Amino acid sequence: MTFSRRQFLGSGLLAGGAIAFAGVLPANAREWDDYSAHFVRDLDSSLPNIPLRPDDEAGWKAVAKNYSVTSKITNLENAYWGIMARPVLDEYKRLTEFVNLENTHFARLKYSETYTGIRETVATFLNVGADEIALTRGATEALQALISGYNKLKPGDTVLYADLDYGEMKTAMRWLRERRGAKPVKVTFPEPTADEPLTEAKILAFYEKALSDNPGTKLLLLTHLNNLTGMIIPVARIAKMAKARGAAVILDAAHSVGQVHFDLKELGCDFVGVNLHKWVGAPIGCGVMYINKARVDDIDTYMLKSPGSNAVTDRIDTGTLNFAAHMAIPAAIGFHKKIGTAAKQGRLRYLRDLWVEPARKLKGLTILTPDDSKMVGALTSFRLDGVVTTKANDALMKHLLDKFGILTVRRTGPDAGDCIRVTPSIYSSRNDVEKLVRALKTITESGHSW
Ligand SMILES: Cc1ncc(COP(=O)(O)O)c(C=O)c1O
């Protein structure tokens, strides 16, 4: 039997305003996939011929019509979380009504079966086993559980992280001193110069040196696509290098899923945190914790919950969930797959290059993110010469917003100083990024007086 979304969510108003739902839920991963396929089929009329070329402005405009975006500003800060496509948002609202109506009758009697189906859909999407993941509210929750739960550390073991890792994860790595008696060590990424771009070879040499300078390293935190400069690092090769030296690797993949090619198995990391509410377009509150099946005992059960259990789901406790958000994940994955990761990545890269190429030529401005297509997605950061403080970058961000109507974001974290991050999304247009180029030209030509 195939399972259409109408069967699931078919609803009607009863007398007195009460809503009646069909009340049937997909019972397993196959039915969730059927549901997701029906969802995508219903979309077909609203989407252009797919896959789209990166420069097909009319085609991407048709895609953009599926997103409600504020016209108050030009939004080039799309890395916090991703706006849901309108059909996903509508589905999420219907699911919210469903959950609200069915209340604990659904949550207590049905949700665990529902969860199992969604988990399988997500696992297939990430190319891992369903028993290797747990759904979370986001990457932070997943990664904090992994970092705090890793139980192979002995007092004095080195735990290594870098300046470009995410703030909360850097804090968690430092906290391992109190939690496990570990020795946290931070390493500082090299920055590019006008003559010397960052290359994968440089990043590999950087980690090679970091590991040989710190031979006691037993745990390494890596960030696949970091939130400060947007650089993508060669995770699989670094993880192999670290493992050969006896260090476990925890991977922060908050940004890469849905933005660039992503296959969890290929990355070769045993412990990974993922977000689905950034680039897959699921509702806010959707993430994943992954633990390689063979390594599950290396992570403590959460606060001694179910001692002896070997279930990944016992390594985290999310309390009462936003059920509807998690139930909207298959729809978000369906919409994402309909556009296609490769087409999305191509478009994001095209929009990014449209502003980066001319901006690189501006005097007094450095682009901090490499151009190598393996090392960049949508996110790219720049710094104006000498503008390194949080205060000055806040002022620059405000100037871009107040004077030019362009939203960007100041990022603090690189040891060399703060910077401004620019992130188009798939509903951004050529005009949006060209507007930024004109603004940056005015700013650099005005001698940075803002
Ligand atoms: C690299 C990175 N890791 C982790 C996170 C945390 O994600 P969340 O707040 O959705 O849990 C973010 C959020 O922006 C991030 O950019």
For 187-208, write each residue's pLDDT tens digit. Answer: 999 999 878 999 999 999 999 9
> Given 229, 246, 275, which residue is the final one in a domain?
275
Cα distances from 368 to residues 179, 350, 416, 448, in angstroms, run 35, 18, 11, 18
Structure tokens at 143: 């990664």
Q: Residue 411 domain-assigned? A: yes
Closest-CA residue to 227 (of 127, 140, 357):
140
Q: What is the CATH number of the domain that holds 391?
A: 3.90.1150.10
Q: Which atom of ligand 1 is nearest to the CA of 165?
A: 1
What is the pTM assigned to this prediction?
Answer: 0.94
| Ramachandran quadrant class, 20 (left: phi over 0; alpha: psi -120 to 50; beta: rest) | beta
The mean per-residue pLDDT over the stretch 22-39 comes to 73
For residues 41 and 330, what is the distance between their CA atoms, to the nearest angstrom?
14
Q: Residue 80 domain-assigned? A: no
Q: Where are the alpha helices (DSSP H) in 110-199?
A: 111-126, 139-149, 167-180
Q: Residue 7 domain-assigned? A: no
Q: How far is the CA of 230 from the centre of ligand 1 (A)?
A: 12
Per-residue DSSP letters for 299-357?
BPPGGG-STT---GGGG----S--HHHHHTHHHHHHHHHHH-HHHHHHHHHHHHHHHHH
pLDDT at 193: 86
Q: Are residues 164 and 265 in the same domain?
A: yes
> pLDDT band at residue 7, thresholds of 50, 70 and 90?
low
Instruction: Name the closest-CA residue to atom 9, ligand 1.
Output: 140
Q: Are residues 143 and 256 in the same domain?
A: yes
214 Cβ below 6 A of ligand 1 = no
255 Cβ below 6 A of ligand 1 = yes
The mean per-residue pLDDT over the stretch 47-67 comes to 92
> Given 243, 275, 307, which residue is the final one in a domain?
275
pLDDT at 120: 94
165 Cβ below 6 A of ligand 1 = no
Q: Are residues 157 and 265 in the same domain?
A: yes
- Is residue 51 reached through a cis peptide bond, with omega within 30 degrees of 0 on the bond before it? yes
> Given 275, 301, 327, which residue is the final one in a domain?
275
The mean per-residue pLDDT over the stretch 173-198 comes to 95
Q: Residue 269 domain-assigned? A: yes
Instruction: Name the CA radius of gyration of the chain, rounded.
Output: 23
> pLDDT band at residue 19, thresholds of 50, 70 and 90?
very low
The mean per-residue pLDDT over the stretch 130-155 comes to 98
Q: Which atom of ligand 1 is nearest to the CA of 80?
A: 14
Is the pLDDT reported for residue 128 higher than 90? yes
The mean per-residue pLDDT over the stretch 115-120 comes to 94
Q: Residue 88 domain-assigned? A: no
82 Cβ below 6 A of ligand 1 = no
Q: What is the CATH number of the domain that holds 255?
A: 3.40.640.10
Is the pLDDT reported for residue 219 higher than 60? yes
> What is the domain extent for residue 374?
342-445
Among 275, 276, 284, 379, the mutation site with the greatest number of ligand 1 atoms within 8 A of its Cβ is 275
The mean per-residue pLDDT over the stretch 73-88 comes to 97
- Residues 261-315 have pLDDT tens digits of 999 999 999 999 999 999 999 999 999 999 999 999 999 999 988 999 999 999 9
Residue entry with tokens 């007092």: 155
Is the pLDDT reported for residue 5 higher than 80? no
Q: Residue 247 domain-assigned? A: yes
Is the pLDDT reported for residue 23 higher than 90? no
What total of structural domains would you count in the chain? 2
pLDDT at 30: 78
- Residues 313-339 have pLDDT tens digits of 999 999 999 999 999 999 999 999 999
The mean per-residue pLDDT over the stretch 113-131 comes to 95
Q: Are residues 152 and 254 in the same domain?
A: yes
36 Cβ below 6 A of ligand 1 = no
Residue entry with tokens 């009340």: 23
The mean per-residue pLDDT over the stretch 144-152 comes to 98
Cα distances from 192 to residues 230, 231, 255, 370, 388, in angstroms, run 13, 11, 22, 8, 15
Q: Are residues 169 and 258 in the same domain?
A: yes
Percent of the chain with pLDDT over 70: 93
Q: Residue 403 domain-assigned? A: yes
pLDDT at 15: 44
For residues 257 and 5, what is the distance between their CA atoms, to the nearest angstrom?
25
Q: Are residues 351 and 439 in the same domain?
A: yes
Q: What is the DSSP letter of 373?
A: T
Q: Residue 358 domain-assigned? A: yes
